[in-house]
Amino acid sequence: MLIGFLILFPLLASLLLFFIKGDGAKRIAFVFSLVEFGISLLAYVWFRGNSNMDMLSLNCTWIESLGIKFAVGLDGIGLLLVLLTTFLVPLIILSSFKTTYDKPNSFYALILMMQSALVGVFVANDGFLFYVFWELALIPIYFICLLWGGENRARITFKFFLYTLFGSLFMLIGLIFLYNHTGIDTGIKSFAINDLYAAGRSLNLSQQSFVFWTIFIAFAIKMPIFPLHTWQPDTYVTAPTQGTMLLSGIMLKMGTFGLIKWLLPIAPLALAKWGGVAMGFAVVGIIYASCIAIVQKDYKRLIAYSSIAHVGLIAAGILSANQQGVQGAVIQMLSHGINVVGLFLIADILIRHTGTRDIDKLGGIRSMNGQFGVLFLIILLGSVALPLTNGFVGEFLLINGVFQYSAWLAAFAGLTVILGAVYMLRSYQAIMLGEKKANEVTFGSLADTDKAVLMIICLAVIAFGVYPKPLNDLAEPAVKALLKLLTI
Amino acid sequence: MINTIPINYYIMLSTILFIIGAVGVMARRNAIIVFMCIELMLNAVNLLLVAFSTLHNDANGQVFVFFIMAVAAAEVAVGLAILSMIYRNIKSIDIDLLSKLKH
Amino acid sequence: MIKLIGLVPLFPLIGFIINGFFGKKMSKSMSGAIACISVLASFIVAVLIFMEVSASQQKSNVVELFSWINSGTLKIPFSFLVDPLSCLFLLIITGIGFLIHVYSTGYMHEDEGFSRFFTYLNLFIFFMLLLVLGNNYLIMFVGWEGVGLCSYLLIGFWFKNDAYNKAANKAFIMNRIGDLGFLLGIILIFVNFGSITFGEVFGKAASIPTATVTAIALLLFVGAMGKSAQLPLYTWLPDAMAGPTPVSALIHAATMVTAGIYMVVRSNVFYSISETASEVVAVIGALTALFAAVIALLQTDIKKVLAYSTVSQLGLMFLALGVGAYSSAVFHVTTHAFFKALLFLGAGSVIHAMGGEQNISKMGGLKKALPVTFLTMLIGTIAISGVPPFAGFFSKDEILAHTYEHSQLLWFVGSIASLGTAFYMFRMLYLTFYGKFRGTHEQEHHLHESPKSMTIPLMVLAALTVFGGLLGMPEFWGMKNWMSENLDPIIIRKNPSILSHETEWTLMIIAVGVAISTIYFAYQMFMKYKVLPAEKEADMKPFQRVIFHKFYVDEFYDAIIRKPLDAISQVFYKFFDKQILDGIVNGMGDITKWKSQQLRKLQTGHIGFYIMAMVVGIITILFFSLIK
């Protein structure tokens, strides 16, 4: 029951929000998102204490003739991602307080709707339901980008929508193929996840390869992985800051989560055969995107490309299919979500206070606002995975995992350590350090809400870097159980 | 006595009439001519039906002919009404001029 | 007391937090006092722990703080190892760290970022302590990268200057190149040993194929090359002189750069097993020592001379490690920490007196104005040149002796490097303190001895330099070598010296003789004949120009790495991403549009055409259904 509430509450809240006029929408949305965070914390406490487990899963029949059930449930990985979602959405809403959007009620309603769909993706235990939530998440973000975005938004959002939809179509084909092979014993076909797992394992190599690639393409486009990434930089730059935060902070985790839960156990033979190829693409993407990030002048675009690099490493770790790689991926998903939201907020602050995101035009902000400099630096260090920041735990486990698959791939993937430092430090220097540029406006002090969000993020960066145990305690057994499915 | 004319002749005549009608519908531009050709096609079918009904001594064919004739008459009435409306709008009955549904 | 090891890094961390949050609101003396006291407290605890470890039989003590990362078979607790090696380094870090903190209260007195400086300095001590205390490779790596961060923050301390910021970036990024090697080495260890805790790994080292051990040793050494500025990853260290002088003293002389040495000594079992790796370490150490010494011969910035000297001395230490003389290397780390910190702090004193001038061509005759600084720097210079009975002599001699055993060629290279050291150090001393003053009039008026907060640490360090040699007296003199005895439990495979006493005496006499004759030669050149550094580049001979420009290594790196990287990135972005990949995606959209334009043409609007299409369609359907 609680879990149903977890999914539906933001949806109901968003419907309510549509009717609220004026500025109050911000605060009400923020309160709603905090309530949702509270509900997820409750779910966390129950999950860890192993109490009230029946409240944490739901299994009703939906379309009986097709074997589709409304089946949702929490496992360690899903719970962590739900927590990430419910933790980030209040921060995202809070970060928007200083920007005025017209029709704010629709804006915040769409954010909450998206949260609902995202939570649904992370808890779905039925293939069809997973697909429905997957597509549902696309609709609010489409509108957010289209109505409140920057220049050329119609064309770019349209391209993003079509590209992602194209990939999802492949996933649907794969799921249906699997569905047709379920129910070998019982004669009843079903979309339930365990049946799909069983069906996948029963296929031969070429069939599994088909399923592997069709489903993989959908995730590869969503994350994105080289070379299917070209929609991402434009979309991230054009979307309003909150849209970009939703996209990069949470939505792309749908892809990586899907890889873990919906691809690895389904096609183990194909994974053994083709995993290396897919990993190769991911690793190439890391180096490729990092290089491009080095020569970017628009800070938002730089962060977008750096996101591709980070996700490439996460994907490579998942595809290595060992305990360290997949667990590292889960941890890194959380760290990356938090860090990238922080970085995009910083880009937003830069535009609001100085009117530009162009690195060449900025400079010397540190001398005007030391506090901002420190907060920026901490989040940056999390992004380049300095030990004792949250980024390091995930990155170490990931490189470890990839290394166990192939030492050379790990060496190449590890280049992100160097290249990440290059573009992050260079841009930090160009933006923050040095003398103030002649024609620059005074930076001023940070708004309260911005400061609060940045501080919370910095706290998370350091706290989870020093003490990642709570996260690992959830992730480790869940990953272990999942990897066991690969060897049945 | 009717049986003395082989059925093939009826088939051939009917076919030729039908083809003339069909080609006329496809190729002629004058709307009235098109209607006349449609009538021609319908009557060709009528002829065939009657011939076969006599051949098989089955009255069903001839009854069906009556239905066709009734429907043809109704259809001509409606069609000519539409044609009058078109004439009032474009002052011509050339069907090639009716191409506003073009891309 | 050993259980309280956690206090040692805790005190600087508290100092960091207090200064970080409240530094601006406190007075400068308060801020400085908090920072110094936290390091002093660590030092006191370190001394107590050291005495306890020396007295006890159990040399290796592990104290676990909490469980950090757990993933399947990979279990990494946050735990500390207290043994003779880590205790020794603790003393060096906290002891010399404390002296430098006190010095900084005087040196940075005018600076508005005073509390920020001490915040970073305390943070650095914290991370450096983590590095040497960690009980597994990952905690060491935490400290390793942490000191890299502090180095970045401190080099770029005066962040309004773009050149300084670039130097800070360069240091961090070059360190990261080394760190990648280190990280891969750690993972290789985990893959082969199933653990990265020192005790577990070192015990099983012999059971792993030698080729793997070589790979591990070399990968770890890549990290050391970056952190300890060896060829080819050394160019960040001279540029790091952009930071305030106490930073150069603490980080780039006494502690951070010795992290690589510490790491190799800690992992000595790998290097003992793999002869290839040891050979590589020794050769690179020797080459670095020589190369840096040559460059130092013509430098005119007082700090750059000392920087290259540090690189060169580090090379000697790695040479020692490569030939298996682990305790000699640690001995040299200790004595080097004494006299190099002394020299840097003295240079700081000179720069302070000269109002910021760092070019020795503009100095001269300062010994009258700065007597204490002069005396202490004289002691430091004599020590580094390897003249007995000061500290540098004993440690250097031990290194060269062990090297001679291993390879005479390497001994020769090391000796030439030492020769160069004596020469350029005395060149620096003569040009700075003797002769006539060559600076401007205002600078001459400004000359004054530094305040007590700066001179007292100088004197303490000078005393340590004078008596430091006692730590490792040569055995063939019949005396006790405390250093090698102390570190004996750490070394897994012993490598006793097999030189005869005559050879050892001969080597010693050669070394001393070379040093003294070089000093005399320098005296002749700079005092008697008053040779001065060339005013303009055009006055230099071609090979001098090459040396002055540091063999154009920075330009070389720029050309083969930085510019191609930028170029490739531009190609990736403008050509590959925008035109090809995006082109394909947009192209698919374009194709769809084009095809649909073509299909649209079917909609002619002609009724005749539609009817014909209908007829054709009906005929086709009938045809196909009749065939079936």
Q: Which of C498, C523, C548 is the last residue before a domain boundary?
A: C548
Interchain contact, B95 vs C600, CB within 8 Å: no
User: For the stretch C219-248, what's the b/e string if a residue is b when 16 or more beta carbons lie within 10 angstroms of its beta carbon?
Assistant: bbbbbbbbbbbbbebbbbbbbbbbbbbbbb
What's the pLDDT at A438?
A: 62
pLDDT range class, residue C471, cuts 50, 70, 90: confident
Q: Is residue B2 part of a domain?
A: no
Interchain contact, B96 vs C606, CB within 8 Å: yes
Q: Is residue C217 part of a domain?
A: no
Residues of chain A by 3-state class (helix, strand, coil), percent to 5: 75, 5, 20
Residues of C in contact with B102 (CB under 8 A): 603-606
Q: How many Å from the N-terminal Cα to the C-terminal Cα in chain B?
A: 58
* Chain C nearest-CA residue for B38: C611
Angle at C457 between CA C455 and CA C459, to 5 degrees: 70
Distances (CA, A) of A475 to A324, A329, A395: 11, 10, 15
State the best of B26, B83, B95, B100 to mutate against chain C, taking most chain C CBs within 10 Å. B26
Q: How many CB pairs under 8 A join A and C?
A: 136
Residues of chain B by 3-state class (helix, strand, coil), percent to 5: 80, 0, 15
- Tell me which DSSP letter residue A58 carries: E
C167 in Cβ contact with C46 (< 8 Å) = no
A415 Cβ under 8 Å from any chain C Cβ? yes
- CA–chain centroid gap for C373, Å, is 26
Give the closest residue to C494 by CA, choosing from C484, C502, C504, C503.
C484
- Tell me which DSSP letter residue A265 carries: T
Q: Is residue B63 part of a domain?
A: yes
- Tell me which DSSP letter residue C527 carries: I
Residue C253 sits at φ, ψ, to 5 deg, of -140, -50
C10 Cβ under 8 Å from any chain A Cβ? no
What's the pLDDT at C455?
A: 84
What's the pLDDT at C118?
A: 93
Q: Is residue B56 part of a domain?
A: yes
Instruction: Find all residues with CB under 8 Å of A166, minimum gap 6, and list them.
Output: A221
Interchain contact, C604 vs B25, CB within 8 Å: no
Interchain contact, C577 vs A230, CB within 8 Å: yes
Q: What gap in Å lies between CA C374 and CA A458, rounded to an integer?
A: 47
Tally of structural domains, chain B: 1
Residues of C in contact with B95 (CB under 8 A): 606-608
Lowest mean pLDDT among A286-300, C375-389, C572-586: C572-586
What's the pLDDT at C436?
A: 79
Chain A closest CA to C186's CA: distance in Å? Answer: 9
* Mean pLDDT, all residues of chain C: 87
What's the pLDDT at A85?
A: 95
* Mean pLDDT, all residues of chain A: 90
pTM of structure: 0.89
pLDDT range class, residue A188, cuts 50, 70, 90: confident
- CA–chain centroid gap for C243, Å, is 14
**Residue recorded with tokens 């962040």:** C159
C373 and C406: one domain?
A: yes
Lowest mean pLDDT among A355-364, B7-16, C419-428: A355-364
pLDDT in tens, C595-613: 999 988 888 877 778 888 8
Q: Is residue B1 part of a domain?
A: no
Q: Is residue C403 part of a domain?
A: yes
Give the closest residue to A388 by CA, choosing from A453, A474, A458.
A458
Q: Is residue C454 part of a domain?
A: yes
- Tell me which DSSP letter residue C507 carries: H
C389 and C516: one domain?
A: yes
pLDDT at B44 over 60: yes
Q: Is residue B81 part of a domain?
A: yes
What's the pLDDT at C511?
A: 85
Q: Is residue C591 part of a domain?
A: yes
CATH of the domain at B97: 1.10.287.3510
Q: What gap in Å lies between CA C299 and CA C360, rounded to an integer?
A: 9
C176 Cβ under 8 Å from any chain A Cβ? yes
Interchain contact, B103 vs C612, CB within 8 Å: no
Q: Is the dihedral of CA A9, A15, A17, A20 positive or negative?
A: negative
* Chain C nearest-CA residue for A429: C165
C415 and C494: one domain?
A: yes
C442 and C572: one domain?
A: no
pLDDT at A221 over 90: yes
Decide which of C502 and C151 is more confident.
C151
| Residue C55, both tokens | 């007295």
pLDDT range class, residue C562, cuts 50, 70, 90: confident
C438 and C567: one domain?
A: no
C393 and C478: one domain?
A: yes
Q: Which of C528, C548, C568 is the last residue before a domain boundary?
A: C548
Interchain contact, C603 vs B29, CB within 8 Å: no
Q: What gap in Å lies between CA B103 and CA C599, rounded to an integer?
A: 10
Coil, strand or helix at A434: coil
Count of residues in chain B = 103
pLDDT at C256 over 90: no
Chain B closest CA to C594's CA: distance in Å? Answer: 14
Strands A57-63 and C61-71, by their bridges, are: unpaired
Share above pLDDT 70 across residues of chain C, in percent, rounded to a whole number: 97
pLDDT at C494 over 80: no
Domain span including residue C599: 556-627
Chain C closest CA to B98's CA: distance in Å? Answer: 7
What's the pLDDT at A150?
A: 87
Give the closest residue to C111 by CA, choosing from C237, C243, C252.
C243
Interchain contact, C601 vs B101, CB within 8 Å: no
pLDDT in tens, C30-73: 888 999 999 999 999 999 998 888 888 777 888 888 888 888 88
Chain C residue set in contact with B, beta carbons under 8 Å? 600-601, 603-608, 611-612, 615
Give the closest residue to C259 by CA, choosing from C128, C64, C63, C135.
C128
What's the pLDDT at A135?
A: 94
pLDDT at C458 over 90: no
User: For the stretch C516-547, what's the b/e string if a residue is b when 16 or more beta carbons lie within 10 angstroms of its beta carbon?
Assistant: eebbeebeeebeeeeeebbeeeeebeeeeeeb
What's the pLDDT at C611?
A: 85
Interchain contact, A425 vs C173, CB within 8 Å: yes
Q: Is residue B92 part of a domain?
A: yes
Angle at A14 between CA A8 and CA A15, to 5 degrees: 95
Amino acid at C28: K
Q: What is the mean pLDDT of residues C261-275?
A: 90
What's the pLDDT at B3?
A: 61
- CA–chain centroid gap for A442, Å, is 35
Interchain contact, B99 vs C604, CB within 8 Å: yes
C561 and C544: one domain?
A: no
Instruction: Find all residues with CB under 8 Å of A469, minimum gap 6, and list them.
Output: C66, C67, C68, C70
What's the pLDDT at C369?
A: 82
What's the pLDDT at A247?
A: 94
Q: Is residue C426 part of a domain?
A: yes
pLDDT in tens, A346-400: 999 998 888 888 888 888 888 888 889 999 999 999 999 999 999 999 999 999 9
Q: What is the mean pLDDT of residues C111-115?
A: 87
Domain span including residue B38: 7-102
pLDDT at A440 over 70: no
Q: What is the mean pLDDT of residues C125-129?
A: 94
Q: What Rg value do the Cα atoms of chain B yield, rounded? A: 17
C497 and C579: one domain?
A: no
What's the pLDDT at A444?
A: 80
Residues of B in contact with C608 (CB under 8 A): 26-27, 29, 95-96
Please report all neighbours of C, defined by 3+ CB atom pairs within 8 A. A, B
- CA–chain centroid gap for C97, Å, is 16
What's the pLDDT at C476?
A: 66
What's the pLDDT at C146?
A: 93
* Chain A nearest-CA residue for C175: A418
Of C66, C145, C160, the CB nearest to A367: C160
Chain B closest CA to C615's CA: distance in Å? Answer: 9
Chain A closest CA to C16's CA: distance in Å? Answer: 14
Q: Which of C514, C548, C582 is the last residue before a domain boundary?
A: C548
Q: Is C436 exposed, middle or buried (0-12, 13-18, 19+ CB in 10 A)?
A: exposed
Q: Is the dihedral of CA C50, C53, C54, C59 positive or negative?
A: negative
Q: Is residue C147 part of a domain?
A: no
C331 and C395: one domain?
A: yes
Interchain contact, A364 vs C160, CB within 8 Å: yes
What's the pLDDT at A32?
A: 92
Distances (CA, A) of C382 to C93, C406, C422: 24, 28, 8
Interchain contact, C161 vs A163, CB within 8 Å: no
Interchain contact, C180 vs A227, CB within 8 Å: no
Tally of structural domains, chain C: 2
* Chain C nearest-CA residue for A364: C160
Give the closest residue to A330 by CA, choosing from A387, A261, A269.
A261
C534 and C570: one domain?
A: no
Q: Is residue C146 part of a domain?
A: no
Residues of C in contact with B94 (CB under 8 A): none
pLDDT at A488 over 70: no
Q: What is the mean pLDDT of residues A139-147?
A: 93
What's the pLDDT at C501?
A: 78
Decide which of C482 and C319 is more confident.
C319
Chain A closest CA to C210's CA: distance in Å? Answer: 18
The ipTM assigned to this model is: 0.91
pLDDT at B1 over 60: no
What's the pLDDT at A83?
A: 94
What's the pLDDT at B82?
A: 93
C111 in Cβ contact with C352 (< 8 Å) = no
Q: What is the mean pLDDT of residues A67-77?
A: 87
C532 and C459: one domain?
A: yes
Residues 362..381 of A with a Cβ closer than 8 Å to C: which? 364, 366-367, 381
* Chain A nearest-CA residue for C176: A418
pLDDT at A218 over 70: yes
pLDDT in tens, C326-338: 888 888 998 999 9
Q: Is residue C58 part of a domain?
A: no
| Residue A445, both tokens | 């002090």
Please report all neighbours of B, defined by 3+ CB atom pairs within 8 A. C
C573 in Cβ contact with A218 (< 8 Å) = no
pLDDT at C205 over 90: no
Chain C closest CA to B26's CA: distance in Å? Answer: 5
Amino acid at A470: P
C596 and C539: one domain?
A: no
